[in-house]
Amino acid sequence: MNTPERDYCYFIDHRKYNRNIGCRKHDNAYGINGGGSERDRWRADMAFYRHMKSNGDPMALPSLIACLCFGWFCWNYHPGKGLWRGQLLRRFAKAPK
């Protein structure tokens, strides 16, 4: 039995332009490993952009802009700092009563 390929990309088709590998590496570089500093996030976003650009992906620049504009808000992994003390999606899923 074949295991389906996991989709690591949000909002874009992971099957085109070798995107899924880039999205997985981006998640592993910053997201899944628990985050890091703003400099770490910048490096992860730029590596993702370079991967997409090297594969001729027309969504490289829009994806970079989306990561830079919304990544700090939606995936803020710095507990105790800013508005969202943790990952935004997890925050809404487990909102306090």
The predicted structure's pLDDT at residue 84: 46
pLDDT averaged over the chain? 76
- Assigned domain for 1 exists: no
- Asked, for residue 9, whether it belongs to a domain, the answer is no
pTM for the model = 0.71
Domain extent for 70: 19-93
Distance from C-alpha of 18 to C-alpha of 31, rounded to nearest angstrom: 20
**42-66 residue pLDDT tens:** 888 999 999 999 999 999 999 999 8
Residue 65, domain member (yes or no): yes
52, part of any domain? yes
89 part of a folded domain: yes
How many domains does the chain divide into? 1
Residue 77 domain-assigned? Answer: yes
